[in-house]
Structure 1
């Protein structure tokens, strides 16, 4: 487990990916559209990509971060509800979990599978009063937001004193061999599998675009030190990052009591 360096780098905005949009203010609409297009097949591809281990990993990460029975949880960028499902199990009651996501397609898919409250909203503007939640989770979506600093300030705002934020994210491996292997897997194999696994009546083009974009955001993701610095600048304390397999990062921060 690594801790924030004594002199963290300046906080930088998320990169704009010129292959998909030319201006930063176009990112929000592009992200919403690309996830709408791939929503129907998202869970199917995720299971292939994670080799069936995703559910266990998400649940274990939430437990280690401090999610326990009775906590009120907000799952930001909930997508199809993969993290929210594990949060509901740990909290002991689906009624304690609220999922938010800007994509209508993703919200629709989550609603078919989970008995939790679902709201369309963005990470930078959560439609809740201050100090409402005990625990905030976000699974593999931080690199899709437009403003890191605004996002973490909003996370701190909706959490109670003593509340916990747990952000799961994929990170570009530091090891060159792992980078090559991950690139081949994500840029070659996964788009191919997505085309095969997506029925003709679903949006194959949208699914392929989603997974192409998914890889590009990993390739150009914000450095872990910048994420940690942004959390600390927003007012979180005891900010840590746990790394697994050189790829999976669990960022955890606490609101002061």
Structure 2
């Protein structure tokens, strides 16, 4: 019975939504409205390190030449773009619930894109060698259901990589991160005047602040059947969760 209880990544955030339906609509809307700014925001936030980090984590998680990849919540295609340097772009499917984000992705990558929810994957069971998700796990409404769906679409022996940002253990670092994300990133990326972009940054921060600890994410991945569940952490806040579907 307990396995049917939803396992959200963070509590309801009433400043943005109050129900599951409102949550889905809010996330779709805010990313549609900010899609044209997203790459600029990301470049500033990652201090230019995003490309090599995503490529490094994809290789560490197990992506190899010739393999198929489902990039969930692909957004503008930042993870898929690095995956295309490892496997052929024709082997990559980018999935996102935001049409605005997928429009940006189509303009720069020759991959197949699908408009769909991360918790309702329109992909055949046991069909993908790898599944990736970049900085979007905090936007789903049930970790257990999400991970179960991910496990289902992977081939036996397939790999999953989930990139996320978490709370810093050091309170001072956490305060600095909040200031950087909320004030510096909008200013340096040139989106400070955009109300939608400021709201996105506020929501982004609140989901980081309220997110369940990494141990909960790892335990939930293991509870749905993933094996070799592990986490790689960089700079104390960038987490890469990796696991495999058992053979």
Interval containing the TM-score (normalised by the shorter chain): over 0.9
Does residue 155 of structure 2 align to residue 160 of structure 1?
yes
* Aligned twin of 1:3: none
Q: CA deviation at 1:141?
A: 0.4
1:20 aligns with 2:13: no
Q: How does 1:147-186 map to 2 (within 5 A)?
A: 147-186=142-181
Does the 8 Å contact 1:143/1:222 carry over to 2?
no
Asked whether the equivalents of residues 191 and 212 of structure 1 are also in contact (C-alpha less than 8 Å), the reply is no
State the 1:22 CA deviation. 2.0
Q: Aligned partners of 2:91, 2:212: CA distance in 1, in Å?
A: 31
Contact persistence 2:128–2:153 (CA under 8 A) = yes
Query: Normalized against structure 1, the TM-score is what?
Result: 0.90
What is the Cα deviation at residue 190 of structure 1?
2.0
Runs of 4+ in 1 over 4 A off after TM superposition: none
Worse-superposed segment, 45-54 or 151-160: 45-54
Which structure's relative contact order is higher, taking Cα pairs within 8 Å and 6+ residues apart?
Answer: 1
TM-score, normalization by structure 2: 0.94
Q: Distance in 1 between matches of 2:86 and 2:224?
A: 27
What is the rounded CA distance, in whole Å, between the counterparts of 1:16 and 1:206 in structure 2? 20
Question: For the residues of structure 2 that align with 1:151 and 1:123, how far apart are their CA atoms?
Answer: 7
1:66 pairs with one of 62, 65, 69: 62
Aligned to 1:82: 78
Would you say how many aligned residue pairs link Structure 1 and Structure 2? 242
Unpaired stretches in structure 1, ≥5 consecutive residues = 1-9
Q: Give secondary structure in 1 for the equivalent of 2:242.
A: strand
Change (3 A) 1:178 1:56: same
Consecutive unaligned residues of structure 2, counting only runs of 5 or more, are: none
CA contact (8 A) 1:71 1:135 kept: yes
Two-structure CA RMSD over aligned residues (Å): 1.5
Counterparts of residues 1-257 of structure 1 (less than 5 Å): 12-14=7-9, 15-91=11-87, 93-194=88-189, 196-197=190-191, 204-257=194-247
In the alignment, is the contact (CA less than 8 A) between 1:32 and 1:102 conserved in 2? yes
